[in-house]
Amino acid sequence: IPLSFFGGIGGASSKGVLVKGSNYLEALSQTKYVVCDKTGTLTKGVFEVTHVQAETWLSNEELLETAAYAESYSNHPISRSLKEAYGKPIDTSRVSEVEERSGHGVSAVIGGKKVSAGNTKLMKMLGISYAAPQKIGTEVHVAINGNYAGYILISDIVKPNAKSAIAGLKAAGVKQVVMLTGDTKPVAEAVASELGVDVVKSELLPADKVTEVEYLLTAKGTKEKLAFVGDGINDAPVLSRADLGIAMGALGSDAAIEAADIVLMDDDPAKIATAINISRKTLRIVHQNIVFALVIKFACLGLGAIGFVNMWWAIFADVGVMIIAVLNATRA
């Protein structure tokens, strides 16, 4: 039995899926709910600025420069895309009093001006009225000295195999695929519709993701398992809380990889369905070995008790059965 699981773990690793223990491989076969983070999991996490709309008292170039300076100390994919779109060296000596608000945005003093850049939640928190973009994209709203300065739209690229990955999960017997994201509702629903996700929850803070997973854990059946798939440092608490935590290994944060039970080494979400199928094949082999060994051993015990089998049959029932079981285990 252990050899069958070792074979399954080895088979999964040859496909680029690192399973950290046989108990996780067994749990995979019972997975009926898969919850995915959007950015970096179903999408590439490669953002690009698609639209800049400044207020009349500011130029688009100045708005982009202000946002890039405000985000200069952040390594978030959205921050990197703003700095790349600005495309000029950033003099960080002009930036001070940086305050990053998780799930909201960032505030900083730039050249003596108080700048806030983030999503609509940040604007609401600061009591600043903002414009509603007509196009779909991740919104970065900017305020300077408490006055609304405009917005920047950023788009993420869906992974080319994400749609087939969702279809593969459903074919593997997963009841429900849920997508959680901090993005706005229109962006989240557009991605969910494109990929065929069953349920989408948008505009979530990192703590809200834990709450959503907690709710799903209480709603599912006792023998059903829930897997969460994520890649960011904010996903680490959710990865730990789910029955199975699956992390993206290539671009995922160290915290996510450490907290996860399973790591996808090439960030391909289609490998989740592959891992589930490997898990189920491994469990079939385990059950075959158990049944085969017990049937032969009990048959030889019974027949031996009434004198129908000799020592050679006893040797076969012990060593022979073991060799056959080992050979069967290598199929995993």
Residues marked active site are found at 37
Residues 6+ apart with CB under 8 A from 177: 34, 35, 36, 166, 169, 170, 196, 197, 198, 199
Distance separating alpha carbons of residues 231 and 184, to the nearest angstrom: 19
Phi, psi dihedral angles at 202 (to 5 degrees): -115, 170
CA 294, CA 265: separation in Å to the nearest integer?
38
Closest Cα to residue 170, out of 151, 200, 193, 195?
195
Pairwise CA distance, residues 61 & 223, whole Å: 56
**How far apart are alpha carbons 181 and 203 in whole angstroms?**
6
Rg (CA), the chain: 26
For residue 194, report the phi and psi dihedrals to the nearest 5 degrees: -65, -35
Listing from the earlier edge strand, what are the strands of the sheet with 147-158? 43-54, 147-158, 138-144, 113-118, 105-110, 95-101
For residue 228, how many other CB atoms are within 10 A of its CB?
31
Q: What is the DSSP letter of 133?
A: P
Partners of 139 in beta bridges: 153
Non-local CB neighbours of 164 within 8 Å, separated by 6+ positions: 270
The residues near 163 (Cβ < 8 Å, ≥ 6 apart) are 194, 195, 196
